[in-house]
Amino acid sequence: MSGRLVILPKKTYCPWRPENVERVLRDERLERERLEGEERERIGEERRRRARLAEAEAEAGSGGAAAGDDGGHLNLFPEARDAELRLVRGRKAK
């Protein structure tokens, strides 16, 4: 014998006790399942988002309200563009 006290197996936190080994395995399995569920949820949300984008793109391409007169470009600031064009035309006239 080594002459030291072997009291670790009597403690509840002993890593070699069968109950603790089972608890660790259970916790690891639950965490793995939780991560897999989150991954499935993320993939499903990504697919739904892509489907919505594809639907919106198809709608815009078929003459939807989002398409502009110049091939699908949506000008959010037409006044600024018109002012810039007036400025450029004024410089050319000089």
Task: Write out pLDDT tens, residues 7-55.
Answer: 777 788 888 889 999 999 999 999 999 999 999 999 999 999 999 998 8
The amino acid at 36 = E
User: If pLDDT is split at 50, 70 and 90, which confidence band does 62 have?
Assistant: low
pLDDT at 49: 94
